[in-house]
């Protein structure tokens, strides 16, 4: 009899042991809790690139500039006042004497210099934003090239500590959005003293330069020292992050929610059920099906608003395709014909979330005062004329062409609709080629395609975050469309000090792009937030979909 | 017996090395750049610097570096999650998957063996039909259907179970049940077939003839012999269940290891792929060894050390 009981008892003990081993337990509900997709990729501000990381970045850190919680315009952050020279190339930041790290130590100029130097030596996705600082690009390149006897010289980088409270930065030319760059997490400061414990074996370069390596564990709860409204209290990997108000933050009087939880969820349906059951106050994303269902029944908790990104098709503009065959899209008339032959309303009828059909590349309404040009609207007769002029009347003789897309979301359905329209309106039948996202990206970046699905989301508050993509030296010019007029307009805008004039120049550049049609814009993305209006206050519906958590308050 | 176990244990590193090399080759030739994470292409200088950090400038440098590191227990840095190492990821996910898998296996073994035995006893009867349908559902319905249905019904509509994060037993019940259904169905079928064989064998008839009760004969004499095929099934099934399920973990948002098996491949996170494959292989090989040893205990007639 005893033997019979041994096995179940052993199994129950084993199970209990495994449960203890796997951890868990519940904690008191935070003042504000939200789900923003899965786990963050990094809490190292120098390396941040995903939206969910950047949102956390704004909670934990504060740059020289920060963002206004409602308008998201750059406003002075932990530096005030900020003196800008008349030619707008020299910024002198006076760091607030009351600005403090979460360990109580004052924020000083060298914190920024340390972080920026580290980023130039160990570059990430957004390091290029520092290239506007005199000497920064040269330093990054020299450090990477690592030629013996030629160590990179950081003293040539014009970000200089005048005194512990004063930082002077000199730019290559006036950069209208430099405050926005300063307010972007990759440019946030780091507290070197608190990181000393996590120093790893340094890298000695061939050039003789020594690079300080830090163990990744410096970003763990208890180790990470930050200077923003919040500090990291607890981080259970892929489960939850807890932020608590930083008691030393200079603007602590205006921090509304004292405790914030970020719940990690890899499944959008689970996230919505979690919200519906009252487990979280805000979810940043919805699955396509749930979103269109809520949208159709006008659910009051669903908040749909334009996003800072465009969905479009990209044409390869090279003379020859990668397989050596002539590329029909090299001819501007062919690109224009394909663009004019698509009715965009039918596309947003597929996506069903109130996306805005668009003939433009830069999302409409993204920049206040931007005189958006008119793009190529549907005009089948003109499309057919252009196609005939290019040598393919009625689509005759047009080479076999593939339309490339990645298999996620509803890209296949959209591709099917566009294919049908091209077949009907131009008499050209393209082949649909769906693939896994990594393969698709590879093909797009190596220009191994003829027509491909694409999208672009802006990073900072300036049209150049869109227009730069099609500049000659851009690594992201997937169309390989090179246009002198566009290039010179972009360069002109880069150095134009007058804000309104700049916008007008960018509009001219966008007009050139839209007329030359290296891309076929389909629609402006929308964001879909879910939260209860009556409970959650201070969560702005801004096109750039960024939030300053300190101003969010939940009334239960 | 000791010698048999020793030989099998010594074989482990060799088999693992072969699995490692095969996985490495597949990972390395798969198209797609592991270093580009978003649609935006990054500066080649940045990519070079990251490759250097990962010792991934070429397949030779990667292969020269990574296995040595792994033997020391360091699976390297993940490309998806910057701040944690692959070892951290496995350490965080594996206990969760193992707990859930254990619960599922306990349910599967107990329910499966009972259903199978009862079905064999009432062969052709109502219960047999019931067991057949349970098994059919368990084997043919994919876990994302069962998981989603359980989730929608018991969490969404009836609110019997909390929608919450990992940490309480109540949060484990539904995913455990969803995960147990497939192995339970297999176990029930295996038990039934071998039990039917047993029940018509001579020693059972003898036992009945000498006056033992029907229950004693079935549960003590019959089951002990009928359970052998179940044990051989338990090896690979436990390895698969204990290392986590992609679908069940996704539906119930469980921070286990299961999702990494698929996501690491989609992200071309080479170190994480190698790490998870190695963990899975170690589990599989270990459980198969345990099963072989368990045979000898359950049925002393079997000599696992016998040469073929």
A160 or B292, greater pLDDT: A160
Predicted pLDDT of residue A24: 63
Instruction: Tell me the pLDDT tens digit for each residue of B246-296.
Output: 889 988 999 999 889 888 988 888 889 999 999 889 988 998 888 888 877
Predicted pLDDT of residue B68: 83
Residue B307 pLDDT grade (very low, low, confident, very high; cuts 50, 70, 90): low
Residue B299 pLDDT grade (very low, low, confident, very high; cuts 50, 70, 90): confident
CB contact under 8 A, A277 and B39: no
DSSP 8-class letter at A544: T
Which of the residue ranges A70-84, A196-210, A384-398 would you say has the lowest mean pLDDT? Answer: A196-210
Nearest CA in chain A to B151: A270
User: Which residues of chain B make contact with A442, given a CB cutoff of 8 A?
Assistant: 31-33
Q: H or E element: which one contains A109?
A: helix A109-121
**A386 pLDDT exceeds 70?**
yes
Burial environment of residue A416 by CB neighbours within 10 A (0 to 12, 13 to 18, 19 or more): middle
Residue A25 pLDDT grade (very low, low, confident, very high; cuts 50, 70, 90): low
CA-CA distance, B205 to A223, in Å (whole number)? 71
What Rg do the C-alpha atoms of chain A give, in angstroms? 26
Phi-psi region of A417 (alpha: psi -120 to 50; beta: other; left: phi over 0): alpha
At A2, list the tokens: 């005893």
Predicted pLDDT of residue A206: 86
Mean pLDDT, rounded, for A214-241: 94
Residue B217 pLDDT grade (very low, low, confident, very high; cuts 50, 70, 90): confident
**B181 pLDDT exceeds 60?**
yes
Q: What is the mean pLDDT of chain A?
A: 93
> Phi/psi at A232 (nearest 5 deg)?
-80, 115
Predicted pLDDT of residue B52: 80
Mean pLDDT, rounded, for B19-48: 80
Provide the CA A89 distance to its chain's centre, in angstroms.
26
CB contact under 8 A, B252 and A26: no
Instruction: Tell me the pLDDT tens digit for each residue of A253-277.
Output: 999 999 999 999 988 989 999 999 8
3-state secondary structure A391-427: CCHHHCCCCCCEEEEECCCCHHHHHHHHHHHHHHHHC
A167 and A82 Cβ atoms separated by less than 8 Å = no
A306 and A543 Cβ atoms separated by less than 8 Å = yes
Nearest CA in chain B to A269: B251
A175 and A183 Cβ atoms separated by less than 8 Å = no
Burial environment of residue A126 by CB neighbours within 10 A (0 to 12, 13 to 18, 19 or more): buried
Predicted pLDDT of residue A494: 87
Predicted pLDDT of residue B141: 86
At A430, list the tokens: 């393209």
Of B85, B102, B252, the CB nearest to A14: B102
CA-closest candidate to residue A338, choices A134, A479, A178: A479
B267 touches chain A (CB under 8 A): yes
Of B80, B92, B168, the CB nearest to A26: B168
Predicted pLDDT of residue A3: 60
Q: What percentage of residues in chain A have a pLDDT greater than 70?
A: 98
A336 touches chain B (CB under 8 A): no
B138 and B182 Cβ atoms separated by less than 8 Å = yes
Instruction: Residue A399: count other Cβ atoms within 10 Å of its Cβ.
Output: 12
Which of the residue ranges A202-216, A414-428, A517-531, B89-103 would you say has the lowest mean pLDDT? Answer: A202-216
**Length reported for chain B:** 308
A142 touches chain B (CB under 8 A): no
* pTM recorded for the entire structure: 0.89
Of A43, A123, A269, the CB nearest to B45: A123
Mean pLDDT, rounded, for A71-76: 94
**A4 pLDDT exceeds 60?**
no
Residue A467 pLDDT grade (very low, low, confident, very high; cuts 50, 70, 90): very high
Nearest CA in chain B to A274: B163
Residue A2 pLDDT grade (very low, low, confident, very high; cuts 50, 70, 90): low
CA-CA distance, A41 to B130, in Å (whole number)? 48
Predicted pLDDT of residue A374: 95
B191 and B117 Cβ atoms separated by less than 8 Å = yes
3-state secondary structure A256-294: CCCEEEEECCCCHHHHHHHHHCCCCCEECCCCHHHHHHH
CB contact under 8 A, A438 and B102: no
Q: Which of residues 353-412 of A touch B (CB under 8 A)?
A: none
**A470 pLDDT exceeds 80?**
yes
A279 or B35, greater pLDDT: A279
Cis peptide bond upstream of A81, omega within 30: yes
- Minimal CA separation from B41 to chain A, in Å: 6
B166 touches chain A (CB under 8 A): yes
Mean pLDDT, rounded, for A226-232: 97
Instruction: Tell me the pLDDT tens digit for each residue of B116-126.
Output: 999 998 888 88
Predicted pLDDT of residue B305: 64
DSSP 8-class letter at A172: S
**B168 pLDDT exceeds 90?**
no
List Cα–Cα distances, B189 to A12, A127, B120, B186, B292, in angstroms: 25, 60, 9, 5, 21
At A436, list the tokens: 């896994």
**Length reported for chain A:** 556
Instruction: Residue B146: count other Cβ atoms within 10 Å of its Cβ.
Output: 21
CA-CA distance, B304 to B293, in Å (whole number)? 8
- Minimal CA separation from A463 to chain B, in Å: 17
A28 touches chain B (CB under 8 A): no
Residues 6+ apart with CB under 8 A from B20: B67, B274, B277, B278
B71 touches chain A (CB under 8 A): no
The secondary structure of chain B in percent helix, strand, coil, rounded to multiples of 5, reads: 75, 0, 25
CA-CA distance, A114 to A121, in Å (whole number)? 11
Predicted pLDDT of residue A265: 92
CA-closest candidate to residue B274, choices B93, B92, B97, B90: B90
Q: Which of residues 270-329 of A touch B (CB under 8 A)?
A: 270-271, 273-274, 276-277, 279
A127 touches chain B (CB under 8 A): yes
Predicted pLDDT of residue B292: 83
Residue A161 pLDDT grade (very low, low, confident, very high; cuts 50, 70, 90): very high
Of A11, A238, A438, the CB nearest to B32: A438
CA-CA distance, A216 to A212, in Å (whole number)? 13
CA atoms within 13 A on the CB side of B136: 6
> Phi/psi at B175 (nearest 5 deg)?
-60, -35
User: Which residues of chain A make contact with B41, given a CB cutoff of 8 A?
Assistant: 445, 475-476
Interface A-B: count of C-beta contacts within 8 A? 157
In this prediction the ipTM stands at 0.85
Residue A37 pLDDT grade (very low, low, confident, very high; cuts 50, 70, 90): confident
Predicted pLDDT of residue A431: 96
Residues 6+ apart with CB under 8 A from A209: A143, A146, A151, A152
Mean pLDDT, rounded, for A396-409: 92
Predicted pLDDT of residue A379: 96
A260 and A56 Cβ atoms separated by less than 8 Å = no
Nearest CA in chain B to A29: B164
- Minimal CA separation from A42 to chain B, in Å: 5
**Max CA-CA distance within chain A?**
93
B260 touches chain A (CB under 8 A): no
A183 and A67 Cβ atoms separated by less than 8 Å = yes
- Minimal CA separation from B83 to chain A, in Å: 5
User: Which residues of chain B make contact with A476, given a CB cutoff of 8 A?
Assistant: 40-41
B98 and B238 Cβ atoms separated by less than 8 Å = no
Predicted pLDDT of residue B187: 93
User: Which residues of chain A make contact with B169, given a CB cutoff of 8 A?
Assistant: 19
CB neighbour burial string for A188-213, b if at least 16 within 10 angstroms, e if fewer: bbbbbebbeebeeeeeebebebeebb
User: Which residues of chain A make contact with B156, given a CB cutoff of 8 A?
Assistant: 273, 276
Mean pLDDT, rounded, for A373-388: 96
Token pair 């099963």 is found at: B291
Nearest CA in chain A to B105: A11
> Which of A245-259, A492-506, B233-247: highest mean pLDDT?
A245-259
Of A42, A266, A476, the CB nearest to B83: A42
Angle CA(A457)–CA(A462)–CA(A464) in degrees, nearest 5? Answer: 75
At A55, list the tokens: 């949102």
**B306 pLDDT exceeds 70?**
no
A537: β partners: A553
Instruction: Tell me the pLDDT tens digit for each residue of A104-142.
Output: 999 999 999 999 999 999 888 889 899 999 999 999 999
Burial environment of residue A108 by CB neighbours within 10 A (0 to 12, 13 to 18, 19 or more): buried
What Rg do the C-alpha atoms of chain B give, in angstroms? 24
B82 touches chain A (CB under 8 A): yes
Residue A514 pLDDT grade (very low, low, confident, very high; cuts 50, 70, 90): very high
CA-CA distance, A501 to A491, in Å (whole number)? 13
């Amino acid at each position: 009899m005893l033997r019979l009981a041994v096995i179940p008892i052993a199994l129950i003990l084993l199970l209990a042991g495994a449960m203890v081993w796997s951890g868990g337990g519940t904690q008191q509900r935070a003042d504000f809790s939200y789900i923003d997709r899965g786990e963050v990729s990094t809490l190292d501000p120098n390396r941040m690139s995903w939206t969910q990381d950047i949102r956390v970045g704004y909670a934990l850190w504060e740059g020289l500039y920060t963002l206004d919680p409602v308008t998201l315009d750059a406003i002075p952050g932990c530096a005030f006042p900020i003196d800008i020279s008349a030619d707008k190339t020299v910024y002198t930041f006076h760091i607030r004497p009351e600005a403090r790290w979460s360990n109580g130590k004052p924020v000083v100029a060298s914190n920024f210099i340390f972080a920026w130097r580290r980023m130039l030596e160990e570059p990430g996705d957004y390091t290029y934003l520092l290239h506007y600082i005199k000497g920064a690009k040269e330093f990054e390149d020299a450090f990477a090239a690592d030629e013996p006897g030629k160590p990179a010289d950081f003293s040539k980088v014009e970000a200089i500590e005048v005194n512990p409270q004063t930082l002077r930065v000199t730019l290559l030319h006036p950069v209208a959005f430099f405050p926005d760059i300063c307010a972007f997490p990759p440019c946030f400061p780091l507290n070197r003293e608190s990181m000393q414990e996590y120093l790893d074996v340094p890298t000695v370069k061939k050039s003789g330069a020594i690079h300080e390596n830090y163990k990744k564990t410096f970003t763990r709860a208890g180790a990470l020292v930050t200077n923003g409204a919040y500090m990291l209290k607890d981080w259970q990997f892929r489960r939850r992050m807890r932020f608590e108000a930083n008691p030393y933050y200079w603007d602590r009087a205006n921090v509304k929610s004292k405790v914030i939880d970020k719940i990690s969820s890899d499944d959008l349906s689970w996230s919505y059920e979690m919200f519906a059951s009252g487990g979280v106050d805000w979810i940043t994303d919805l699955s396509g099906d749930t979103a269109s269902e809520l949208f159709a029944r006008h659910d009051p908790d669903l908040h749909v608003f334009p996003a800072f990104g465009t969905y479009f098709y990209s044409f390869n503009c090279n003379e020859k395709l990668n397989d050596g065959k002539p590329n029909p899209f090299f001819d501007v008339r062919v690109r224009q014909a394909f663009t004019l032959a698509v009715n965009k309303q039918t596309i947003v009828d597929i996506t069903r979330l109130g996306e805005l059909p668009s003939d433009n590349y830069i999302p409409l309404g993204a920049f206040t005062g931007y005189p958006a040009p008119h793009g190529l609207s549907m005009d089948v007769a003109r499309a057919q004329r252009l196609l005939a002029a290019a040598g393919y009347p009625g689509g005759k003789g047009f080479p076999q062409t593939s339309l490339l897309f990645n298999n996620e979301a509803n890209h296949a359905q959209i591709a099917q609709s566009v294919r049908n329209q091209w077949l009907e309106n131009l008499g050209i039948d393209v082949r649909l080629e769906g693939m896994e996202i990594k393969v698709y990206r590879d093909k797009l970046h190596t220009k191994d395609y003829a027509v491909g699905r694409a999208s672009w989301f802006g990073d900072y508050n300036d049209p150049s975050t869109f227009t730069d993509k099609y500049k000659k030296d851009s690594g992201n010019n997937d169309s390989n469309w090179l246009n002198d007029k566009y290039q010179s307009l972009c360069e002109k805008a880069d150095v134009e000090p007058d804000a309104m004039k700049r916008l007008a120049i960018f509009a001219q550049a966008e007009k050139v792009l839209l007329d030359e049609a290296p891309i076929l814009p389909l629609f402006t993305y929308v964001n879909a937030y879910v939260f209860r209006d009556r409970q959650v206050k201070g969560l702005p519906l801004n096109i750039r979909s960024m939030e300053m958590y300190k101003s969010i308050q939940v009334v239960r | 017996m000791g010698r048999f176990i020793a030989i099998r244990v010594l074989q482990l590193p060799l088999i693992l090395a072969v699995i490692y090399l095969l996985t490495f080759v597949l990972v390395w030739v798969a198209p797609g750049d592991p270093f580009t994470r978003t649609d935006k292409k990054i500066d080649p200088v940045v990519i070079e610097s990251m490759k250097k950090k990962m010792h991934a400038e070429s397949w030779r440098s990667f292969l020269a570096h990574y296995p040595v590191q792994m033997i020391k227990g360091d699976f390297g840095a993940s490309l998806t999650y910057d701040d944690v190492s692959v070892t951290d990821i496995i350490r965080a996910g594996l206990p969760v998957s193992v707990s859930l898998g254990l619960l599922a296996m306990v349910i599967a073994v107990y329910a499966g063996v009972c259903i199978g035995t009862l079905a064999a006893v009432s062969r052709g009867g109502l219960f047999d039909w019931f067991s057949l349908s349970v098994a059919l559902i368990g084997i043919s319905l994919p876990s994302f259907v069962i998981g989603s249905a359980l989730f929608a019904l018991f969490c969404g509509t009836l609110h019997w179970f909390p929608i919450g994060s990992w940490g309480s037993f109540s949060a484990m019940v539904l995913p455990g049940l969803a995960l147990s259904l497939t192995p339970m169905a297999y176990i029930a079928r295996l038990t039934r077939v071998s039990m039917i064989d047993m029940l018509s064998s001579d020693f059972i008839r003898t036992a009945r003839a000498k006056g033992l009760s029907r229950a004693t004969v079935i549960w003590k004499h019959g089951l002990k012999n009928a359970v052998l095929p179940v044990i051989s099934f338990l090896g690979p099934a436990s390895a698969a269940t204990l290392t986590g399920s992609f679908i069940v973990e996704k539906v119930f948002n469980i921070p286990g290891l299961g999702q990494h098996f698929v996501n690491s491949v989609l992200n071309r996170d080479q170190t994480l792929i190698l790490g998870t494959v190695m963990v899975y292989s170690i589990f599989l090989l270990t459980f198969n060894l345990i099963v072989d040893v368990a045979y000898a205990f359950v049925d002393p007639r079997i000599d696992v050390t016998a040469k073929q």
